[in-house]
């Protein structure tokens, strides 16, 4: 991070400008235009510190972990386990062993579905989700339900994209075995009241999982404050490498859960008759992990920490308000999802113009947005549309980039007119 970024006031518009030099890809020229990258909900760009950490690992620190007595292996092990500690502190977990490294949020949800939920589910049991879940927080529960005779239910939402909390309370029942809810919707930008949801579930003895893939990069997430049992996120949405993520789980639950996968490093002893499992969290990390990815994720967390999540949240709120006003002023544009509490994402449609056409035309101006159903087909069905165009922001985005987006949309409308 540049020295200037560390001196910017929380709400100052030059926070983005102060940090942009740390992200080399933002200097790219696309189709003859400066890149305007507004697809951060799909993946964020990586600061030089992360890129260099991954390169340094492969250049001078590469060795397998946990197994070697030689210096290089011990150093790689230290870096990997240091990264686990960084994730634990980032989420305010009680101890590092409550953090399991995974390939991302998707694998983490699958781990909980198969290792925690499946063994306890039986016919007639229910898994309660929300109507705005990403497919990665739907399909794993459907698989577990099909294997056990349980069923998946979804809490409905209103036309603004806000959960109907009275319905949530009503749907909690003696049959509910787990609540799995997204913190921030990747298709609507809605920030769900997960603290209240956890509290209501906990009062009934129901365990909870929070999908924080779209929240940890935008504002502080504290697992002890939330009091959730499980929480998942992906590193690549937190300015880290792809192929790495984390599951937070209460140590008492991890101790009881059987392994999700078998292989090397997740065992303490093996015979052809029986195997004994390693301690947590390594019991759930079979095989050689993404060592470089974990190290890069730790460096990304360091980077975000130096800027400060409160400062990031303040600038992104200002940017979100600016973008909402700018897009709402465009004739023929309808924002899909207008929740009062929102973060990161604005989805929209243009009357008579397919979202794919919007994205293709904007790309000609170097503007990168996402179009489609965003792995949220039930959300699209709820609003009666096949797809949306989605702009999603990070702290390195600027108001001038929002202006470029608005100008690009105006050109799209003129072309089709």
Q: Enumerate the active-site residues.
A: 375
DSSP-based three-state secondary structure for 100: strand
CB neighbour list of residue 90: distance below 8 Å, 6 or more residues apart = 216, 301, 305
Both tokens of 51, joined, read 């890129």
Look at the block and give the residue holding tokens 């229910």.
Answer: 126
Look at the block and give the residue holding tokens 């004739």.
Answer: 331
Eight-state DSSP code of residue 351: T
User: What is Dmax (Cα atoms) for the chain?
Assistant: 72
Q: Which helix (H) or strand (E) holds 210?
A: strand 208-211
List the one residue out of 349, 332, 333, 327 whose CA is nearest residue 393: 327
List the one residue out of 25, 36, 89 whose CA is nearest residue 393: 36
Tell me the H-state helices in 177-268.
Answer: 194-203, 223-226, 251-256
Q: Are 247 and 218 in contact (CB under 8 A)?
A: no
Q: Which helix (H) or strand (E) holds 29?
A: strand 29-30
Q: Are 47 and 239 in contact (CB under 8 A)?
A: yes
């Amino acid at each position: 991070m540049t020295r200037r970024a560390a001196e910017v006031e929380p709400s100052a518009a030059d926070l983005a400008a102060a940090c942009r030099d740390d992200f080399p890809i933002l200097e790219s020229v696309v189709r003859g235009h400066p890149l305007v990258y507004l697809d951060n909900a799909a993946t964020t760009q990586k600061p030089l510190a992360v890129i260099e950490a991954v390169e340094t690992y492969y250049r001078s620190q590469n060795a397998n972990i946990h197994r070697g007595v030689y210096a290089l292996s011990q150093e790689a092990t230290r870096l990997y386990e240091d990264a686990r500690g960084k994730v634990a502190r980032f989420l305010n977990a009680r101890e590092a062993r409550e953090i399991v490294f995974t390939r991302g949020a998707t694998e983490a949800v699958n781990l909980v579905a198969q290792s925690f939920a499946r063994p306890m589910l039986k016919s007639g049991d229910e898994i309660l989700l929300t109507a705005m879940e990403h497919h990665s927080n739907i399909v794993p529960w459907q698989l577990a339900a099909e294997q056990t005779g349980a069923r998946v239910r979804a809490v409905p939402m209103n036309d603004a994209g806000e959960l109907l909390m009275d319905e949530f309370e009503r749907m909690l029942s003696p049959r509910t075995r787990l609540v799995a809810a997204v913190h921030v919707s990747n298709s609507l930008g809605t920030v769900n009241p997960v603290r209240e949801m956890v509290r209501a579930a906990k009062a009934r003895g129901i365990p909870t999982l929070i999908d924080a893939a779209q929240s940890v990069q935008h504002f502080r997430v504290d697992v002890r404050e939330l009091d959730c049992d499980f929480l998942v996120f992906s590193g690549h949405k937190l300015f880290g490498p792809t192929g790495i993520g984390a599951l937070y789980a209460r140590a008492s639950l991890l101790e009881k859960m059987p392994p999700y996968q078998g292989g090397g490093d997740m065992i303490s002893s093996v015979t052809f008759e029986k195997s004994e499992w390693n301690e947590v969290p390594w019991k759930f990390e079979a095989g050689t992990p993404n060592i470089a990815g974990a190290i890069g994720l730790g460096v990304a967390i360091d980077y975000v920490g130096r800027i400060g999540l409160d400062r990031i949240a303040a600038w992104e709120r200002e940017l979100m308000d600016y973008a909402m006003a700018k897009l709402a002023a465009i004739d023929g544009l309808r924002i899909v999802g207008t929740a009062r509490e929102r973060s990161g994402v604005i989805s929209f449609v243009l009357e008579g113009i397919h979202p794919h056409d919007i994205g293709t035309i904007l790309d000609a101006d170097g503007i990168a947005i996402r179009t489609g159903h965003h792995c949220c087909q039930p959300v699209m069905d709820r609003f009666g549309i096949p797809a949306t165009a989605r702009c999603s922001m990070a702290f390195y985005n600027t108001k001038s980039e929002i202006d470029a987006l608005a100008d690009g949309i105006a050109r799209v409308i003129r072309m089709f007119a």
